[in-house]
């Protein structure tokens, strides 16, 4: 059992029967009364962030989680199939625990976080940015970069992303997987 003195960002613990990750914490020693630790905890499954205050020295149940690199293979309609590139072991997880399943293309490397004791997948994270090809968008207008106007574009994974007016079909763009937002145009290789 650990105590509040072992707190650090990213630490995963069992709190109220669910797994929570520490997003932020602050030790407070008031002039009057006992010391306490003010925290923000993120539910690992739902992503909801809650504030909570722990009395200093209280025991907590730390859980071990492991981050593993996997390669995305395919989607069979229900589950997403991944392969560990070192052991060639395959695993499949539901799309509900993937942060941006519509931006994944076959062969994409992702990080899956597993609960070490139960070997269950908790969530799957794509890299912060992915490079995708535009498969369809309305024709672009040269020189139309002064306004902050966007149009819809379909990328190779089937997702729709808002892009500036000067982007054309066939171009490569960098997309933020956390917000589904266009980041920049990428030069062809």
Provide the 10 A C-beta neighbour count for residue 1.
Answer: 7
Is it true that domain 129-186 has CATH number 1.20.1090.10? no
**Topology of 2-62 in CATH?**
SH3 type barrels. (2.30.30)
Residue pointed to by tokens 């500036």: 164
pLDDT band at 154; cut points 50, 70, 90: very high
Closest CA to 60 of 15, 17, 22, 118: 15
Which pLDDT does position 146 carry in this prediction?
61
* Each residue's pLDDT tens digit, 40-55: 999 988 888 999 999 9
Q: Could you count the other beta carbons within 10 Å of the beta carbon of residue 44?
A: 19
Report the C-alpha gap between 143 and 180 in whole angstroms: 25
| Domain boundary assignment for the chain | 2-62, 65-125, 129-186
pTM of the model: 0.77
Quick check: 169 pLDDT over 80?
Answer: yes
The string of pLDDT tens digits covering residues 18-33 is 999 999 999 999 988 8
What's the CA dihedral at 66, 87, 177, 166 to 10 degrees? Answer: 160
In the prediction, which pLDDT does 166 show?
83
């Amino acid at each position: 059992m650990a105590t509040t003195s072992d707190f650090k960002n990213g630490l995963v613990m069992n709190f109220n029967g669910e797994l929570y990750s520490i997003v932020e914490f602050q030790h407070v020693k008031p002039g009057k009364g006992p010391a306490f630790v003010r925290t923000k905890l993120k539910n690992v499954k739902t992503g909801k962030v809650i504030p909570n205050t722990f009395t200093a020295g209280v025991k907590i149940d730390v859980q071990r989680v492991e981050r593993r690199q996997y390669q995305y293979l395919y989607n069979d309609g229900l589950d997403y199939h991944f392969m560990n590139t070192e052991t060639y072991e395959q695993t499949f997880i539901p799309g509900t625990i993937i942060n941006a399943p519509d931006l994944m293309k076959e062969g994409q490397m992702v990080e899956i976080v597993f609960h070490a004791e139960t070997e269950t997948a908790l969530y799957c994270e794509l890299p912060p940015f992915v490079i995708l090809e535009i498969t369809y968008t309305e024709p672009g207008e040269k020189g139309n970069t002064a306004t902050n106007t966007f149009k819809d574009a379909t990328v190779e994974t089937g997702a729709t992303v808002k892009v500036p007016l000067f982007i054309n079909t066939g171009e490569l763009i960098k997309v933020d997987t956390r917000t589904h937002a266009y980041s920049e145009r990428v030069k062809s290789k």
